[in-house]
Amino acid sequence: MPEIVMREAIKMGLEEALENDPNVLILGEDIGAYGGAYAVTDGFLKKFGPERIKDTPISEATFIGTGIGAASAGLRPIIELMSISFSLVGFDQIVNMAANLRYMSGGQIHVPMVIRAPTGAGVQLAATHSQSVETWLAEVPGLYCVCPSNPKDALGLLRTSIKSNNPVIFAEPALLYGLKGDVPEDYYEIPLGSASVSKEGKDITLLSYGAGMSVINDTEKILSSKNISAEIIDLRSLNPIDYKTIGKSIKKTNHLLALDTARKNGGIMGEVVSNIQEDFNDWLDGPIIRVGAKDVPWPYNKNLEGAAYPSAENIVNTILEKLIKV
Amino acid sequence: MATLKQEKNNKTSKLTQVVDEKKEMLDLYKQMFLIRQFELACGENYTKGNIRGFLHLYIGQEATAVGSISCLNDQDYIVTHYRDHGHALARGLDVNRSMAELFGKASGLSKGKGGSMHLFDAGKKFMGGHAIVGGQFPLATGLALACQYKKTGGIVVCFFGDGSTNQGTYHETLNLASVWKLPILFILENNKYGMGSSIDRVRAGGEDFYTGANTYDIPAAQVDGMDVLAEKEATKIAVDKVRQNGGPFYLECKTFRFVGHSLADGQKYRKTDEIKEWEKKDPLTKFPEWILSAGIAKKTDLEKIHQEVNKNIEDAVNFAETSLEPKSSELYEDIYKID
Ligand SMILES: Cc1ncc(C[n+]2csc(CCOP(=O)(O)OP(=O)(O)O)c2C)c(N)n1
Ligand SMILES: [Mg+2]
């Protein structure tokens, strides 16, 4: 299959689900007549009709919760949020309702629902539209939480997310909707909770997810030009976390750098490296390095936003300084 | 409102002639009595330490749940708030397993993981017990969407308190349910207080709520929630409207809790006079009095009910007490459904 962009890969996954399962429907603001804030659902209203492509009022708490109710009665709703920052308006429904219903009912109810939302900074939307709320939601038992970094993973993860019998947070890096990549022609799925090794190497493991992977790829190129061989891991799933794949890599490279494009303080990598430290300390030949965005509200100004966002150059310098003294 | 009241009165006079309805009347009474005795037993076992956490009793409000839920079918869903024992029992949830849930036992409805505020029985389409005030509105809307989408013919009844009407989800949900014409009956249990906040201190818009439903183009009515027959009659009309029109209906029930908000409430915020005034309308006194005076049943019929129910409650407490604690492995069960 020719290269497609991330937006098309997600659209493909949604379309396929709508075609194959009459219980799938999409709820969200301006997903129908308008075609979606990021044009992911463009054309769906015409193709699938207003019963399945449901434009909602601007009431996040209510349409997220409506999805939960519909899911607990046997439908498979997909919720689109215009921004994951807006999930905060419906946070109670996601955290207290969707995640807890099964447990509180002693397993009587399940909630097969996907919440899709653009996430992250880097597109100059300032503090209210640039949060990476997937890192907050990744802590919640009862939810799954994934974030793809390329079209192939987006399609593969979306397929398993929609098929899952549990609520899944599907975070789509806002920066990457136009990112191109190959997507296999044959049907495939990517299991939730599986990280991927996107490049093998022997000197250091570079770990990130979502938009962070672009930064990591740039980092690897610079390191490679300095004859440092980096292995790249894409976490892909923030809950559950694939410690097996990360651990295996560390046994090989004995060094780890973990990157969040969310704020470093509270970023998911804090959790990841603390567990790695506990379980793989004997295999580490130096301190784990964590890099993240600056601990500030996201500024609008391009230069300021850039200064808060992690860069490959800085990462390389940190690695050279702290780890591999050349 | 006036028409509902009137219909009820007509009905009442007709009832004296209709022998068939004896069973129906005694059933209503039995359910209310069951709830009252259940709640009294809960209070007792809270004091004993068998029930912990927050415990909100339904004492005084029995006629609301019993009258309204008696109008529903098996395919209809019920969603309610944390003051949920009355609705659960009126829906016919197992008394033993309900009590065991409050005791936190493995034999409880939710294996002891939900407690008093989170009663569920999915088989009976009783979808909780929700303890975030206003959190249940969107869930109810979604269940109604599923009924509409799958054309099941079922409707959803969403119970809520006056306090929850100040949450955003209340207004959002009324709007969405109306826009999408969802089959949902909103039943407000207006007991005049949200914890210690009387409605005149926290609400703009006066003491009546049902008039506000007009804003969302939802037909609405108000009923005396202390009168089980009025409640039943009003709900029947409301349910028929929802089934026929497909769209929502809003029913406000004027009711009162005779006890504190929870077992931790000293009721400093209201006068005993007010409670006494409302206790005159106690459905557990008024209704059996009327049954007797109208000649529908005899004292011995009521006594038989008392004996049966008291035995049920005794058995339930026994069942809960002797049931096992959940196994520690249960900690990790029921978080995810296996894919
Ligand atoms: C979001 C939220 N805020 C506050 C509370 C604490 N709380 C529990 S019940 C209650 C009062 C609710 O009153 P109302 O809706 O009238 O129901 P009632 O108790 O009268 O049946 C409050 C404030 C809560 N559980 N959830
Ligand atoms: Mg109240």
- Pick the closest to residue B253 from B167, B187, B185 (CA basis): B187
Residue B253, ligand 1, Cβ within 6 A: no
Q: What is the pLDDT at residue B18?
A: 53
Quote the distance between the C-alpha of residue B14 and its chain's center: 27
Q: Report the CATH fold assignment for B19-258+269-323.
A: Rossmann fold (3.40.50)
Average confidence score pLDDT of chain B? 94
Q: Ligand 1, from B59, B116, B133: best to mutate by most atoms within 8 Å of Cβ?
A: B133
Phi then psi for residue A105, to 5 deg, are -95, 10
Question: Which distant-in-sequence residues (6+ apart) come within 8 Å of A90 by Cβ?
Answer: A60, A61, A62, A63, A64, A65, A81
Cα–Cα distance measured from residue A26 to residue A319, given in angstroms and rounded to the nearest whole number: 44
Cα–Cα distance measured from residue A158 to residue B319, given in angstroms and rounded to the nearest whole number: 46
Q: Is B304 left (phi over 0), alpha (psi -120 to 50) or beta?
A: alpha
Q: What is the pLDDT at residue A322?
A: 86
Ligand 2 centroid, distance to B195 Cα (angstroms): 7
pLDDT category, B10, cuts 50, 70, 90? very low
Contact yes or no for B253/B225 (Cβ under 8 A): yes
Residue entry with tokens 């004995």: A254
Which of A56, A108, A165 lies nearest to residue B120, judging by beta carbons? A108
Ligand 1 centroid, distance to B133 Cα (angstroms): 5
Average confidence score pLDDT of chain A? 97
Nearest chain A CA: its distance from B212 CA (Å): 19
- Please write the tens of the pLDDT for every residue from B254-312: 999 999 999 989 999 999 999 999 999 999 999 999 999 999 999 999 999 999 999 99
Using the predicted structure, report yes or no on whether residue A140 has a pLDDT greater than 70: yes
pTM of the model: 0.95
Q: Which ligand places an atom closest to the C-alpha of B193?
A: 2
Element (H, E) at B203: none
pLDDT category, B168, cuts 50, 70, 90? very high
Cα–Cα distance measured from residue A144 to residue A111, given in angstroms and rounded to the nearest whole number: 11
Q: What part of B 78-107 touches A (C-beta under 8 Å)?
A: 79
Q: What is the pLDDT at residue A161?
A: 98
Using the predicted structure, report yes or no on whether residue B3 has a pLDDT greater than 60: no
Catalytic residue among A8, A60, A134, A305: A60
**Range(s) of chain A covered by CATH 3.40.50.920:** 196-322
pLDDT category, B221, cuts 50, 70, 90? very high
Nearest chain A CA: its distance from B210 CA (Å): 21
Q: What part of B 38-57 touches A (C-beta under 8 Å)?
A: none
- Amino acid identity, residue A28? G
Q: Which of A58, A62, A96 to mutate against chain B (most B CBs within 10 Å)? A: A62
Give the CATH number of domain A196-322; options: 1.10.3720.10, 3.20.20.70, 3.40.980.10, 3.40.50.920.
3.40.50.920
pLDDT category, B19, cuts 50, 70, 90? low
| Beta-carbon separation of A108 and B110 below 8 A | yes
Kindly indicate whether the domain formed by A3-182 is annotated with CATH number 3.30.420.40. no
Cα–Cα distance measured from residue B300 to residue B294, given in angstroms and rounded to the nearest whole number: 15
Q: What is the pLDDT at residue A1?
A: 66
Using the predicted structure, report yes or no on whether residue B13 has a pLDDT greater than 90: no
**Ligand 1 atom closest to residue B134's alpha carbon, by position in its atom list:** 1
Cα–Cα distance measured from residue B39 to residue A87, given in angstroms and rounded to the nearest whole number: 38
Q: What part of A 50-89 touches B (C-beta under 8 Å)?
A: 51, 54, 56-57, 59, 61-75, 77
Ligand 2 centroid, distance to B190 Cα (angstroms): 6
Nearest chain B CA: its distance from A80 CA (Å): 15
Beta-carbon contacts below 8 Å between A and B: 148
- Please write the tens of the pLDDT for every residue from B57-109: 999 999 999 999 999 999 999 999 999 999 999 999 999 999 999 999 999 99
Q: Which of A103, A160, A189 to mutate against chain B (most B CBs within 10 Å)? A: A103
Domains in chain B: boundaries: 19-258+269-323
